[in-house]
Amino acid sequence: MSKLAYLVIRDGLKWTDVFRLVPGQSVTIGRAATNQIVVKDDRCSRNHAEIFSSEGQWTLRDLDSRNGTMVGDQRVTGDWVLRPADVIRVGRSQLVFVHHLTEAFNDPPTAVVAPELDATHSDNVLDDDSNVLEPFEPTTITHRRGQTRFLEPSQPSEENQERREDNKEEVDDTGISKQGQAAARLCRIAFELAKAPDLPKMADLALAGLFESTHTDTGALLLLPRDSSKEPDGADLEIVAQRTLAEQRYHRLSNFLATTIMREGEAVLARNVMGDSTLGSRDSKGEILATSVICAPVRHANRTLGLIHLYSTDSRRVPDPDDLEFTLAVADTVAVALVNLNRRQELTENLSQMQDENTQLRERLGVTSEIIGSSQVIRQVTEQIARAAASNATVLIRGESGVGKELVARAIHYSSARSKNTFVCLNCAALSEDLLASELFGHERGAFTGATERKIGKFEAADRGTLMLDEIGEMSPGIQAKFLRVLEGHPFERVGGNKPVKVDVRVIAATNRDLEQDAADGRFRRDLYFRLHVLEIVVPGLRKRLDDIPELAYYFLRKYVDETGRKIEGFSDAALQQLITYRWPGNVRELKNVIERAVVLCRGRLIDQGDLLLSKLPTAGPTGQLGPADRFNPCSLADLERDHILATLQHTAWNKSRAATHLGIERSTLDRKIRRYRLTEESPSSGN
């Protein structure tokens, strides 16, 4: 039989915990919460090691941990028989094996908590101030109760009814004094008010508690409007809730009494008020039904929020000063509950407003986007980015060179749930096949000439984040096959390695090529194209968003003026007009470079036409420009649109998706125009 033993756990320089080893029971050590001894250390494996009794001795076994288990300076291989004072090292943590606790404390004594010790044994723990061990005494539970009786309605008993009739002491059914009885009822009312979901429910609960505890049968809670800031007046009070146990309905108190309570902030008890119109309230016949009245202000932070109005219609039920005291206590409790309820409602409204604003900001991408522009086409792109950010799907971004595809990818990442993790960008066209494989998947030391150490690839670097692959159409077929497997969720191996690596990465691909046509021509894997083409965002060229050119021009102007310190105030009208009418074959990238050059060369306060260096390169794709004037043939806009759509469809071999992309419209819009103009593959051009 194994001896009784302990593991004393060390955290840094202090012994912090004691774990008792029970013969016949195996103990596991690891980072996972399912272990008996949990070590919160990133060097510790989820299931690191175990200790068990075998042939009368305690044995340690490593569970194929990542960093191994040490006893002293020796690594545990196989089963290790533990001896007293052996120090087990798991990551940065230490556990000392002892048969007696005194064997563990060779260094200066420190306080030790032993929550795992069995109270049935007379085992000892170390005292804070000496090496003397004191016995561990278990705690005894003496009473249990699911709910306090002070929050339950009382049920009178015969014994206490007799004591009440003797009138020697005013007690409730449990023998508690009248003051204690009132405190218990007040506690129960406060407990119920705190749970009230809205104001009417809270007011109804307060009135019900008052009728139960006072000699009244009719009443109401009246409050000032929430936005009221003027001097409190009785006429401004609004009835929030009313309640009656009598045959007559509730009648509002007089304005005189209400104004007195609101201005003085003190509670009043008025008895025998049937003939006093200043204290009682008349019914439709002019009769005053109340015999006695209680009014208590609802006060909070030196401000009167309203009042509680109670009265009795039965001359045999006369309120006493204790009823006034209890009503005032309930009124103060209602004030606190009312303020808390208002705060909850404000928080709920603010939270709803924040959620709406957050949704709008996410749709507009707010501060998470560097995209400049407010044109309709950019707003459509922004909406597509917001929808893409809400999912984890692969995104394909298409557009000409220089339109800002990387900015769109960054906006998707920083508006998504992965925004706190890494965003990695890689240009596939800038690397050879071997270098691209190394950059994507990493390599092991010695994998090829020059690989002097292990390198982590972009996939591993972007784990739990986003990887953008620019110019995806330039990727070689060999890399495409391996890349497809990773997209499908399979692990990969580093170049020159044989250990599988699995990552959680969202992929965003970008290209200025027609991948659909490349896939049809066999230059791009069809299966990879379909895997990438889950969500598609087409970024328009700058010539299709003319309204954004002034905004972009001034943005870049401010940027380079701040960098250079030049005193340039803006653009001349002629320069700005030239920027708007230019076709921008290089898109936003070209505009940025043109403005930077103009800032450097400008000699005046305004950038003029002579400061703008514009190229004569043609734009990518169909421009839609008219031919020379001598070839002009008058025609309607409808005929011109019909011919242009037909020419684009013929150019794309009637591939409607590609044609819609060239035309800058949605596929559904193209279908409607085809039906409107009754276009077919045999349709002739009008000749205009």
Residue 444 has a pLDDT of 87
* pLDDT in the model for residue 70: 93
pLDDT at 652 over 60: yes
Pairing of β 5-11 and β 93-98: antiparallel
**Digit-coded pLDDT (tens) for 573-620:** 999 999 998 989 999 999 999 999 999 989 889 999 888 988 877 765
Q: What is the mean pLDDT of residues 121-128?
A: 38
Q: For 261-329, what is the HEC assignment?
A: HHHHCCCEEEECCCCCCCCCCECCCCCECCCEEEEEEEEECCEEEEEEEEEECCCCCCCCHHHHHHHHH
pLDDT at residue 659 tops 60: yes
Q: What is the pLDDT of residues 16-34, one digit of tens each?
A: 567 778 788 888 999 888 8
The percent of residues in the chain predicted with pLDDT above 90, rounded, is: 26
Residue 71 reports pLDDT greater than 90: yes
Average pLDDT, stretch 205-233? 85
Lowest mean pLDDT among 57-66, 166-175, 297-306, 610-619: 166-175
Task: With cut-offs at 50, 70 and 90, classify the pLDDT of residue 423.
Answer: very high
Averaged pLDDT, 402-431: 90
Task: Report d(CA 308, CA 104) in Å as an integer.
Answer: 68
Lowest-pLDDT range of 347-361, 439-453, 614-628: 614-628
Q: What average pLDDT does range 196-220 have in this prediction? A: 90
Alpha-carbon torsion angle 610, 615, 616, 620, nearest 10: -140
| Distance of alpha carbon 460 from the chain centroid | 26
Could you count the other beta carbons within 10 Å of the beta carbon of residue 396?
A: 20
**Category of 346 on φ-ψ map: left (φ > 0), alpha (ψ -120 to 50) or beta:** alpha
The answer, yes or no, to whether residue 572 has pLDDT greater than 50, is yes
Percentage, residues of the chain above pLDDT 70: 78
d(C-alpha 94, C-alpha 80), whole Å: 16
pLDDT greater than 90 at residue 556: yes
Residue 249 CB-density burial (10 A; 0-12 exposed, 13-18 middle, 19+ buried):
exposed
Say if residue 433's pLDDT is above 50. Answer: yes
Banded pLDDT at 159 (limits 50, 70, 90):
very low
Closest CA to 330 of 217, 208, 245, 148: 208
Considering only CA atoms, which of 182, 150, 152 is closest in space to residue 326? Answer: 182
Question: CA–CA separation, 450 vs 345, rounded Å?
Answer: 66
pLDDT at 642: 87
Looking at per-residue pLDDT, the higher value among 688 and 230 belongs to: 230
Q: Quick one: pLDDT at residue 334?
A: 92
Average pLDDT of the residues in 169-197: 74
Query: Considering only CA atoms, which of 17, 16, 42 is closest in space to residue 30?
Result: 42
Residue 512 · residue 621 · CB < 8 Å: no
Q: What is the pTM of this model?
A: 0.42
